[in-house]
Structure 1
């Protein structure tokens, strides 16, 4: 849906822009010439109302002239600066909750054209620990959001709910290759979030310079049988190819991420999540007569720069 909206917005901008330009360069001079001819014959200056009667601007071109600047500004802002997204699931709990509305900084991961997503300007790119929005590799029509765990060339192991990373290095000089690093997790508390009847446990994890919370369900076994299988590696081990990234959700036992469907190509990256501009509480009982999509309230305390603390209990999801 996001791709279709970008295409429609771009086409509407081009159409209204062409109409505005055609009117300004072709039709407007003709209208002015007609008004000048009438004024010359009458020997008097026409009022604005009389000018509209003598040489009216076609309605379609009038609308195009009015909306083109607005549509063009929206296109530029959305395509190159910031784009709003809604969090549809609990895979990034507790950092992001279902019902959060976020702004994604588009220029963090290259500046791309809105139609074909080809790179126009290269930027720094993702850093370990970033929260990234990207096109879901099995179906690029869908937008996913996860945390960047593995960079190109990294070796990732997720075993017994512990994360191990061997950072990429120059294989020609193995003496400079850093050893495997255990991403230490410090237990913080029994979480107020639940996976069905089971409460999660909240841990503090550090990825690069980013410290954040992750949720673990100690009673749910790791589903290694469904993990993405990479030739030449164990079933819980992943070697990130060049030009790709390894993504994981903070809700580790309830997130469909790179462990299950593989790596995210660089060209699929959309931007970095930076700000929560609205947050609706979606915690409605199943027997409520109101629709489940209808919010129950506004979580004002969550508005602002994206942090790592949740505020309300919710069931998990898997996007």
Structure 2
């Protein structure tokens, strides 16, 4: 079950018990009439659960990076913070935008609900905005006819795997970031990997890569680890209603899901 939904249900239930306890049960107890233990106990959770629910729903939510698709920017095991306010205020659980605050920009690292299975959260970099023409041909990125400038850097060794990748600094707008390419990987997406989506007709595939026109209300995203990322090249575009927020800060790193194994604070800080 969605954790946001669980928090919402707990907030409502504990809130009902809290109001009952404050406005009725306490008065009865002063007269010597006991109430079930779960009334007072459940009500005590409300002042704790409500701030957590509000914080996660409207401002900041923590996530853990589960895969290597965003190397070298984000590593497997990084715990990050996501600004949910950056792209507008959305109703909890429904994820419906009610107040416009801002829009994703090229180069942002964005968390969103996977379009083909909204129960999963994905994280990628925003490459194309609505109406953009995005081409990734022979491992070179072009946006609206302009080749995105890159500068080769020292090779990158993926931690714990010993895989060596070519590393480049890529400049999208005013946001430079590093991307990886594997020397032996093909430039195009094999047909058996492609997944059908609502706007499949907006993309053309060839032996050298892919070209797509981003539909209105959607975004084209890619992982920084270009040859090890299933992204818009494979499963299509991210609709606005699936957006969760903008990732902006690493607050911890853990090699294991069970703390305190492998906990490290050496990667704390903003990225980009």
Q: Report Cα offsets for 1:78-108 as digits up to 9, x if no partner.
A: 1111111000010000000001001111111
Q: CA distance change for structure 1 residues 11 and 233 in 2, over 3 Å: closer, same or farther?
A: closer
Q: How many residues align?
A: 263
> Counterpart of 1:137 in 2: which secondary structure?
coil
| Aligned match of 1:267 | 241
Structure 2 counterpart of 1:237: 211
Matched ranges for 1:27-66 at <5 A: 27-32=25-30, 34=31, 54-66=32-44
Q: Which of 150, 155, 180 is residue 133 of structure 2 equivalent to?
A: 155
Deviation string, structure 1 residues 169-204 (Cα, Å, up to 9, x no partner) = xxxxxxxxxxx1101111011112289665101100
SS of alignment partner, residue 157 of structure 2: strand
Contact kept? 1:281, 1:295, Cα under 8 Å:
no
C-alpha distance in 2, partners of 1:190/1:25? 66
Displacement after TM superposition at 1:225 (Å): 3.2
Tell me if 1:93 matches 2:71.
yes
2:253 aligns with one of 266, 274, 279: 279
**Cα separation, 2, equivalents of 1:15 and 1:130:** 37
TM-score where L is the length of structure 2: 0.89
* 1:144 paired residue among 105, 122, 142: 122
Matched residue SS, 1:234 = strand
For 2:158, what is the secondary structure of its paired residue?
Answer: strand
What are structure 2's unaligned runs of at least 5 residues?
A: none
Partners of 1:256 and 1:202 lie apart in 2 by 19
Query: In the alignment, what sits opposite 2:230?
Result: 256
| Pairing 1:130–2:108 present | yes
In 2, the alpha carbon distance for the partners of 1:194 and 1:161 equals 23
Distance 1:65 1:14 in 2: 11
Deviation, 1:246, is 0.3
SS of the counterpart of 2:45? helix
Distance in 2 between residues matched to 1:84 and 1:233, nearest whole Å? 33
* Equivalent position SS for 1:108: coil
Query: Cα–Cα, structure 1 residues 248 and 104, in superposed 2: closer, same or farther, change >3 Å?
Result: same
RMSD: 2.2
Alignment of 1:206-225 (within 5 A): 206-225=171-190
TM-superposed deviation, 1:128: 0.7
**Partner Cα distance (1:232, 1:81) in 2:** 34
Q: Which residue of 2 aligns with 1:9?
A: 7
Q: What is the CA deviation profile of residues 106-153 of structure 1, one whole-angstrom value per residue up to 9, with x for unaligned ones?
A: 111221122211222111121110000000001000000000000000
| Cα offset, 1:301, TM superposition | 2.2
Match of 1:39 in 2: none
Which structure has the larger Rg over C-alpha atoms? 1
Tell me, in whole angstroms, the C-alpha distance in 1 between the residues paired with 2:158 and 2:258: 19
Do the aligned partners of 1:194 and 1:200 also contact (CA within 8 Å) in 2?
no
Question: Quick check: which one's strand share is greater?
Answer: 2
More helix by percentage? 1
